[in-house]
Amino acid sequence: MTADMRLAAIGTALLLVSSAILVQTSIDGRLPVVLAALASVGAVAAVFRASSHTN
């Protein structure tokens, strides 16, 4: 796993955790949805990049 992939995985995990925390605190209903969507896009992009990576 390259450094880029590790950073993408860490960023995705942090976005999901922050989204879950914001859902529990119910600060604003839209912000957790936006964060979860960003995390999903990041996860899909990371998988796509990993699958298209050639050595």
Domain residue spans of the chain: 3-52
User: Confidence band (pLDDT; 50, 70, 90) for 45?
Assistant: confident
Q: What is the pLDDT of residues 23-39, one digit of tens each?
A: 777 666 677 777 777 77
Distance CA 18, CA 26 (A): 12
Task: Name the packing angle between helices 30-52 and 3-25 (round to 10°).
Answer: 160
Q: Tell me, rounded to whole angstroms, the distance of Cα 22 from its chain centroid.
A: 15
Report yes or no on whether pTM surpasses 0.85: no
Query: Nearest 5°: CA angle at 24, between 41 and 5?
Result: 30
What's the pLDDT at 54? 56
Burial class (CB in 10 A: 0-12, 13-18, 19+), 35: buried
The whole-number average pLDDT for the span 44-54 is: 74
pLDDT at 15 over 70: yes
The identity of residue 49, as a single letter, is R
pLDDT at 20 over 70: yes
